[in-house]
Structures are given as C-alpha cells and as structure tokens.
Amino acid sequence: MPHDGRVTPEADDRSLRRTLRLVALLNLAYFGVEFSVAVAIGSVALFADSIDFLEDASVNLLILLALGWSLRWRVRMAIVLAVLMLVPGLTTCWMAWQKFMEPIAPSAMPLSLAGAGAFVVNLTCAILLSRQQHHGGSLTRAAFLSARNDVLANVAIVAAGLVTAFLWRTAWPDVIVGLGIAVLNVGAAKEVYEAARQERRDAQS
C-alpha cells in the first residue's frame, strides 16, 4: 500500500483472489451438504440450489483463473459463465418433471434447515463479493449476482418448508420454489451477458 493510504492495484488483485478462493471453497463445501439432503428427502428446490452451489464454485474458480487474461478473453469468459449460469435451471426443470410424475411432499424440517444453512453461506459470500464487485469487471459481477440471487432463493426455500409443514402438505411449494430459482438464474445470466457486451463496447470505443 502506498504511504498516502491509497490501495494499489496489486493489493486489490490479491484481495479479490483471496475472496474468490474463499467463496469457491464455501460453495463447494455446502454443495455436498445440500445435495445429500436434497436426494434424501426428494426436494426439487434443494436439488436446484445444490447444483447452483456447485456452479458457483466453478464460476469463482474460473474467474480466478481468468483474472490475468486480456480484456478480450475476460469478456469471452464472462459470456461462457453466462451460459454456465443456465445449467442449474435446466437440471431443475428435469428434476421438477420427475416430481410431477410422483408428487410426494419432501420432509419439511430438513428442507427448512438446509435452506437456512444455505442462506447463511450465501449471505456470507454475497457480502464478501459485494466488496469486490467493482474489480474484475463483468466476471466479478457474475459471481456477485449469483450469490445475491442465491440469498433470495434460500429465503424462498425456508418459506416452502414452513408452508409444507403448516399449510399445504403437497410437493407444490417445493416445485414452485425450485422453478423460481431456475428463473432467477436465467435473469442473472442475462445480466452477466449484457455486462460483458457493454464491457466489450467500452473497450472498443
């Protein structure tokens, strides 16, 4: 850090890399937890969210890899990440279709507890990434948007568990939330793609 108190680009880069590594590890660890619960209770929402954790871990590792690349290649990677962010939505639609065939409500308590745990992990990641979203361009924005959307999804998962337990003992709250998560991911992918295109236009001008 310079003597005048300003943060150097090198310090920003080191801070961003540390954040991305930590966020990737947190996402990968909770993927294992949530996926196990999703399979055990047959939850569409938890399945969607667990795949999203795996995707987020991959996104952050890819961003970490791409930080030293030229602007052209970072923009291309951002577009790849936008496509990658659509994967959880596709897997969720498949899981939801399976649930339509056998509409058994998942266990409400494990659903809510797993969703609450995911909320804590994703809120931590979103706070960490919010401090870095102005560094790294559209790549870092991809990671931040994904974490932000996951926080919203986790609130919905907890709500689905409570509704299933006390109001509506069917599979529909779980399925609806799972499909809602898929829609959130599509919206985030669109934002990342548009940010990458804007970054490319700014560079060309």
Q: Which amino acid is at 159?
A: A
CA distances from 41 to 83, 116, 181 (A): 29, 16, 18
Beta strands in the chain (DSSP E): none
Nearest to 188 by CA among 158, 143, 157, 156: 143
The candidate with the shortest Cα–Cα distance to 26, out of 143, 113, 138, is 143
pLDDT at 61: 83
- Position 194 scores a pLDDT of 78
Domains of the chain with CATH codes: 9-204 (1.20.1510)
Predicted pLDDT of residue 21:
92
Residue 61 makes CB contacts below 8 A (sequence gap 6+) with 20, 24
Judged against a pLDDT cut of 60, whether residue 2 lies above it is answered with no
pLDDT of residue 147: 81
Q: For all residues of the chain together, what is the average pLDDT?
A: 79
Grouping H, G, I as helix, E, B as strand and the rest as coil, residue 167 is coil
pTM for this predicted structure:
0.74
Report the distance separating Cα 186 and Cα 201, nearest Å: 23
Q: Confidence class of residue 31 from pLDDT cuts 50, 70 and 90?
A: very high
CA–CA separation, 192 vs 200, rounded Å?
12
